[in-house]
Structure 1
Amino acid sequence: MNVTLGFIGCGNMAKAMIGGILKNGILMKEQIIASAVSDSTVAKVSEQFGIKTTKDNLQVVENSDIIFLAVKPQYYETVIHEIREKITDNQIIVSIAPGKTVDWLGDLFGKEVKIVRTMPNTPALVLEGMTGVCKNNNVTAEELEEVCRILNGFGKAAVVKEDLMDVVVSVSGSSPAYVFLFIEAMADAAVADGMPRNLAYEFAASAVLGSAKMVIETKKHPGELKDMVCSPGGTTIEAIRVLEEKGFRSSVIEAMKACTKKAREL
């Protein structure tokens, strides 16, 4: 499809998206334009991806069918105020900000605008991102499908009800940080038992990667997969016993509930 794509903001998430979209042939570099505040970022992104770059957000708007607002949430009001008069009925605005509802975004534009709200995560950097998606009533099913096609360029996209988007933040948007903490803790334990740190990180990260693939590819319940590893009277069930004793599950659940609550307050 001959759609043009614009990014207002060119941070790590935007670059991950652009990289995946180009690598997977979703769009050609000539179909993408991005803006950034600094000359160095504009030059770096242009050199890295070969796309058109600018410091002018309005130039992005004027040259895009779909516009990703890829700035930090605290800058949304400023950016929307700058571009809202130039947004047409046919353009689609895609938000990646946590906690910002489609109604909140629509109120800032002050007119009927096509808005898609998304919550991507940082595994997009390695084309394994998971993005939650919802829309307002101005976006057609075909337009949502096209946005999802683009989002699938750097991972997977799943359409959810908007009242679940804050849950997406805790289970997907923020959760890579929990996993990194878990990997770091496992590596620290291995180092404490004598393993070199670089090897400890490789073992721990590979175990998490393989375990995640088992859940996705076998479609088995995580509890069933856990039981497959736990031999009677063995080493694994002893480790599970200690994790349960220390409140592992409860800690994860409470952390995620706090994350969801914070997202709803943003």
Structure 2
Amino acid sequence: MNHEPLQLAFVGCGRIARAMVSGLIAANWPPAAIRGFSKTGAGAEGLARDYGTTVCPSLQDAVGGADVVLLAVHPHDTAQVLAELAPLATAQQVLVSLVASWQTGAFADVLPDTPCVRAVPNVAVAVNSGVTALCPGPAAGREHLRVATAVFEPLGRVLTVDESLMESVSAVSGAGPALVARFVEALSSSAEARGFTPETASELAAYAVHGTGSLMLKGGLAPEEVVDLVASPGGMTEAALHVLAERGLEDAVHSAVDAAVKLSLGRLRGATGTA
């Protein structure tokens, strides 16, 4: 980085915080500019051990002097943590919420002067190949969104979306790597059943997905164009695609995303107290 790095404070040091720190360190974000605080201390200590970040013994130590406070706690713990943050956070800081199912308005109710930006990254940020959706809260302006974007840009693609779509982002993009991994697992299992070693089967399946993503993202191809490149009339690919269609792949994926959104909306109603 060619400028003074933003000072980042992770409040909560679980899976997504670890993925972000991994990607940030790989992108040359200085470990000294990243601090962590976790309820038991284990998560923050793990980050320090693996990446050289700073362990904070208290929430006050974590938040004090930070440019960006990244809230990465469990949704059920969020109300309590917000109450503890209220006397500590300032209008000069940007609060980035990584909390699932909590809208920015709920943060504004407790921290009206602290600009909040909600973020939904996926775990591929760990290898700088993720995608993160951002939406600004009521007190967040263009500059606050720019600051949040600067944190996530080293980790992959950054998009800005309307908050009404964030639960769907969580289901499609946030949960997406797990859904795709299940497909890779199934494809790999099919290869193993035909005599490949587990290592070779896994590599064949993973590179099929990796290459497909590159064709679309780097090659600019639409999914149907990728299909057309591979599937010749009456060929083996067409036969395989017919089976997926007959077994209802699209319906299954739609149902999976719907289930994820439904769960997130249920949590959202609980967090805001709405009916």
Would you call these one fold, judging by a TM-score over 0.5? yes
Judging changes above 3 Å, is the alpha-carbon distance between structure 1 residues 255 and 40 closer, same or farther for their aligned structure 2 residues?
closer
Question: Residues of 1 paired with 2:111 and 2:37: CA distance?
Answer: 23
Which residue of 2 is the match for residue 49 of structure 1? 51
Moved more, 8-17 or 113-122: 8-17
TM-superposed CA distance for 1:228, in Å, is 1.3
Contact 2:108 2:138 in 1 (8 A): no
Moved more, 28-37 or 76-85: 28-37
Counterparts of 1:131-170 in structure 2, within 5 Å, are: 131-170=132-171
Equivalences for residues 177-188 of structure 1 within 5 A: 177-188=178-189
Contact 2:21 2:126 in 1 (8 A): no
Tell me if the contact between 1:6 and 1:63 (Cα under 8 Å) persists in the aligned partners.
no
Q: Alpha carbons of 1:22 and 1:258: their partners in 2 closer, same or farther (altered >3 Å)?
A: same
Residue identity in the other structure for 2:216: V
Deviation of 1:39 (Å): 4.5
Q: Which residue of the partner structure matches residue 231 of structure 1?
A: 232
The answer to whether the Cα contact below 8 Å between 1:33 and 1:63 also exists between their aligned partners in 2 is: no
Task: From 16, 36, 39, give the equivalent of 2:38.
Answer: 36
CA RMSD of aligned residues (A): 1.6
Residue number among 90, 101, 104 corresponding to 1:102 in the alignment: 104
Change (3 A) 1:104 1:221: same
Q: Is the 8 A contact 2:108 2:139 kept in 1?
A: no
Q: Deviations over 1:171-229 (max 9, x none)?
A: 10011111111011111111222222221111101100110111111212111111110
Q: Contact 1:14 / 1:70 at 8 angstroms: preserved in 2?
A: yes
Match of 1:243 in 2: 244
**Residues 1:7 and 2:10 aligned together:** yes
Residue 116 of structure 1: SS of its match in structure 2? strand
Secondary structure of the corresponding residue to residue 176 of structure 1: helix
Judged with a 3 Å threshold, the aligned counterparts in structure 2 of structure 1 residues 43 and 220 are, in CA distance, closer, same or farther, namely closer
Q: Are the aligned partners of 1:16 and 1:154 in contact in 2 as well (CA < 8 Å)?
A: no
Counterparts of 1:254 and 1:52 in 2: how far apart (Å)?
A: 42
**1:92 aligned residue:** 94
For residues 145 and 266 of structure 2, the distance between their equivalents in structure 1, rounded to whole angstroms, comes to: 27
Counterparts of 2:134 and 2:42 in 1: how far apart (Å)? 32
Deviates more, 1:41-50 or 1:177-186: 41-50
State the number of aligned residues.
264
Q: How far does residue 83 in structure 1 lie from its aligned partner after superposition?
A: 1.5
The reply on whether 1:205 has 2:202 as its aligned counterpart is no
Partner of 1:173: 174
**Unaligned ranges ≥5, structure 2:** 268-275
- Deviations 1:209-265, CA, capped at 9 Å, x for gaps: 110111111212111111110012110000001110111111112211222222222
